[in-house]
Amino acid sequence: QTRNAETYCDTDDKLITDPLCVSLSELSSSALSKLAPLEAILFDIDGTLCDSDPIHFCAFRELLQQVGFNNGVPISEEFYSANISGGHNDDLARALFPDLDHDKAMKFMDDKEALYRRYINSYLLPYYSMIW
């Protein structure tokens, strides 16, 4: 399940729109925390534990070419780095397809995410230094 800009916290530290999240107080009283005190929580910002950006690039390049972006010429890594890498899907949909209905542009982004997820199942490896 992906999180988006509409995900936010209430005063109890619960993510309101994400049923998979629990409050910090619930985490600290879990069975796991009784075995070992909870001292930190690691959030994997994309690219922290593995280099996923090249896979995002491949997914964007393939799908943008399919829809005729840039007259069907595959995007370059330079274009990807300058215009796409690190961007949020909603912002990218508006930037890449300014004249397209936003719902259709977001459909493209959903398709890109699906292709990315298929690719990561086959190609993504953790950073060597992250394997203990």
Active site residues: 44, 46
CB-side neighbour CA atoms (13 Å) of 7 = 11
